[in-house]
Amino acid sequence: MNTENQSIHNSYRRLTVSDVCDMLMGVKIADIMVHLSPDPDAVGSAFALRGIMEKLGCDVRVICADEASETLGFLTQGVKISAPPRDEASLITVDVASPDQLGHLWEVASGRIMLMLDHHGTGQQFADGIIEPKAAATGEIIYKIAREFLRRGVVDSLPKQVYTSMYAAISADTGSFRHSSTTPETHRIAAELLEMGADARLCARKIHEEKPLSMIKAQMVAIDNIMMTEDGKFAAAVVSREMREAAGLAYADFSDISDLMRSISGVLVGASIRESDTEGKWRVSMRSIEPVDCSKICARFGGGGHKQAAGCMIMADNAASAYEMIRSSVMDEIKNCEASLAANGGDFRNVK
């Protein structure tokens, strides 16, 4: 989606946790919006915030342009989230780095969003809010909001499901605390969530271990459709809508394919490039190793994310065109990183 003509400016405020709590105290009806192809950080953070706001007496929903994967049912508790915002609701975005990530919801949400809560280092601020790139997950921000309400005595307790949702968000975005974004503060927050009753074993099983058969089949389709540079530094599974439908699979079944591509030996950047239900519109999910910054790559196409995990939407006539569009930008970034490493007497073999 092109947002150049939308009403986005640079005067939005950066808020503190205390500021956010003051704002939420006065909200009676709210819709919490998350990004396209919602992941555990988006869903876990949004449903945790929903639980907090319900304790404040707010009528609140979580909504998205896409439906959440069935694998996230332990967080959504069966609640469907694909819905438009209500006219009377205050709008809050969670884990959304840029307007494009809201999909078609941006058309009705533009100018109405009261609060933005996000932790991505690249993107575009489109509302007052907290943007904390040092946070390993948006779940960390939601935890600080919960802790402030508890400190104030506004709420005396929260359901254990809220703590499990926050823990799931953090566990997922840190790759079970394996990614470089994991900090001492991340571990402290995780420990406090466990003390409050978060179900770590459930999160580990549902996020990092279990997959429905359809996602295993999606991996087979992805492997059959890998496109790779000759030097083996970039690999992408490029799956058209026709390929997906021929295999009897859903768009969401391909949600973790970028991690699979990145796991190939020698690959510096792995990606999934999958056509959405809208012909010619492709979702790119990307993973990289240090120091390749895939958020810079995705920002060129209006997306964003983290250095090692980012995404964007592109328009292309076919799979080959979609791949070439991304390949060119990826290889430019890899060459820049190689030149920088060489200038300092190193190369990718020295990178952890």
CATH number, domain of 338, equals: 3.10.310.30
The tens digit of pLDDT for each residue in 230-239 reads 999 999 999 9
Tell me the C-alpha distance between 240 and 111, whole Å: 34
Q: Residue 36's closest CA among 108, 123, 98, 89?
A: 98
Q: Does residue 4 lie within any of the structural domains?
A: no
- What is the pLDDT, as a whole number, of residue 350? 55
Instruction: Place 1 in a pLDDT band, splitting at 50, 70 and 90.
Output: very low
CATH of the domain at 170: 3.90.1640.10
The tens digit of pLDDT for each residue in 32-53 reads 999 988 999 999 999 999 999 9
Q: Does residue 8 lie within any of the structural domains?
A: no
**The domain boundary residue, chosen from 153, 188, 209:** 209
Instruction: Place 349 in a pLDDT band, splitting at 50, 70 and 90.
Output: low
Q: In this structure, are 182 and 301 located in the same domain?
A: no
Q: In this structure, are 168 and 236 located in the same domain?
A: no
Tally of domains in the chain: 2
Query: Residue 334's domain spans which residues?
Result: 213-350
Q: In this structure, are 222 and 268 located in the same domain?
A: yes
E strands in the chain: 29-33, 59-63, 90-94, 113-118, 129-131, 226-228, 234-239, 269-275, 281-288, 304-305, 309-315
Q: In this structure, are 67 and 197 located in the same domain?
A: yes
Q: Residue 25's closest CA among 86, 117, 90, 94?
A: 90
Q: Does residue 252 lie within any of the structural domains?
A: yes
pTM over 0.75: yes
Q: In this structure, are 232 and 326 located in the same domain?
A: yes
**The domain boundary residue, chosen from 209, 227, 261:** 209
The tens digit of pLDDT for each residue in 25-36 reads 999 999 999 998
